[in-house]
Amino acid sequence: MATSVQINTDPAFQRCLSPDCLATYDLGEELTACKQCGALLDVVYDWDRLQVPDTLRQFESKWSRRNQPLCHSGVWRFHELLPFAPAEKVVTLGEGQTLLHASDGVGRYIGLNAGGLFLQYEGMNPSGSFKDNGMTAAFTHAHTIGAKRAACASTGNTSASLALYCGVSKLMQAVIFIGSGKISYGKLSQALDYGALTVQIDGDFDDAMHRVRQITEQLGIYLVNSVNPFRLEGQKTIMYRVLEALDWQIPDWIVVPGGNLGNSSAFGKAFLELHQLGLIDRIPRLAVINATGADTFYELVENRGLHWNEGRPETKIMDAYYHELDEAGQHASTIASAIEINRPVNLSKCLRALDVCQGVVREVTDQQILDAKSQVGAHGLGCEPASAASVAGARLLRAEGVMSPSDRVVCILTGHQLKDPTATVAYHTTDSEEFNRVLASRGVSHAEFANHAVAVANNLDDIIRAIQQNSREA
């Protein structure tokens, strides 16, 4: 149904995702959905009226000015590709100082040729996850419009990130909503320590998300979940840094865990814009990886045929599935608590990303996730369970033959290993009770790559013997 479209004359504005609506809104409006039709919003730029470098390589010149916070930030040194805020309003903590690591060891596990696998380690961000890329952007927007309180529902990383930006800047109070018992201690400890008002809801992430939308609207609190289009602007830069690390060559695949589908949606938008701007000539394929116990996107796309359909995805398919979940009283359940989500808020945007990037969706079990995680750890980086879904997903796509051994593949490691030590210790433990309590209850039956600690009496000879028996020189 066509609506009266207000033409926005600013070089940057917000626009409804639906091609049948396309309503536009000023940057100054705080919205998480179109006021006319309820669809998600994009931040859109009139590039002809903005200064964008002719080549991506031109961004390298920022390195020589990295004493300036905006050139130092791995997000804001690409400011020209997310030009929605004036430089003086940007709130940055030096986020995005992350690296792309070549990892032949993990590549072998996946089944790729030497030189084929790269791990984009977002755990190096100030709060330990990729969320800081988006938080600096949403926080900057919130600051621009004078917000004094900001809120989110979270499986733990978004809340840690918001709490950090509030704690350092003191520009806003953080109000975070979490499902009771649903977030790992590492993440909970961050929110508490950074001083966020922490509201534990009797329910899961989907319940908390539902409530935070109601509450932010009623109380006029700024919402920073990834329904906020500015969040995704920041997360686009993860892809710019990947390209930069590959000397601006395009990889064959980007593999990313899917939870609320903000990251994958942002990656799709990044490539769409770079291509439209003529800054890249090819778009990599995208693989979004769900956990089996939280696999709405996989189910809808791969089994029920939902697709972007030029911006008109069949809502009937989604509604029917959600109705089934409700009828069955089914809640998301996975050891990868960060992606324990059944109702991803960015679903339609992510359909666009799949369309742009010839994407695929897969699901991996908790067993596959933890085995992949231990391989990432064994090769030195370490990540939290959700992040390892990318590696497990790449392995599956190789086994299926969708990915070829000679492909160049980038897996996004979304969060730091220390975010969720419980899962890691349980995988490596010799204590079967601990293993059963944390992992067997999730269907994890074995720990093929466990690195058991050696128990030894407090006696010099015994300790020396244990070391000689169990160690080897590198």
Nearer to ligand F0G, 339 or 423 (CB): 339
Task: Kindly report the backbone phi and psi dihedral angles of residue 14, in degrees, each rounded to the nearest multiple of 5, phi listed first.
Answer: -105, 145
CB of 448 to ligand F0G, least distance (A): 23
CB of 238 to ligand F0G, least distance (A): 11
Nearer to ligand F0G, 23 or 299 (CB): 299
CB of 376 to ligand F0G, least distance (A): 13
Of 256, 249, 260, 255, which is closest to residue 225 (Cα–Cα)? 260
- SS percent in the chain: helix, strand, coil, step 5: 45, 15, 40
CB of 365 to ligand F0G, least distance (A): 17
Nearer to ligand F0G, 103 or 390 (CB): 390
Q: What SS3 class is residue 338?
A: helix
CB of 22 to ligand F0G, least distance (A): 25
Neighbours of 330 (CB within 10 A): 11
Nearer to ligand F0G, 22 or 392 (CB): 392
Place of tokens 């004493």: 67
Q: Which residues have C-beta within 8 Å of that of residue 193, sequence separation ≥ 6?
A: none
Neighbours of 9 (CB within 10 A): 8
CB of 218 to ligand F0G, least distance (A): 21
d(CA 75, CA 77): 6
Nearer to ligand F0G, 100 or 338 (CB): 338
Which residues sit at the interface with ligand F0G, rule CB under 6 A?
Answer: 129, 131, 154-158, 226, 257-264, 338-339, 384, 386-387, 414-415
Nearer to ligand F0G, 14 or 158 (CB): 158
Torsion of CA 58, 64, 66, 72, to 10 degrees: 30
CA distances from 75 to 27, 78, 169, 360 (A): 19, 6, 17, 27
Nearer to ligand F0G, 74 or 262 (CB): 262
CB of 91 to ligand F0G, least distance (A): 19
Region of 309 on the Ramachandran plot (φ > 0 left; ψ -120 to 50 alpha; else beta): left
The type of residue at 443 is G
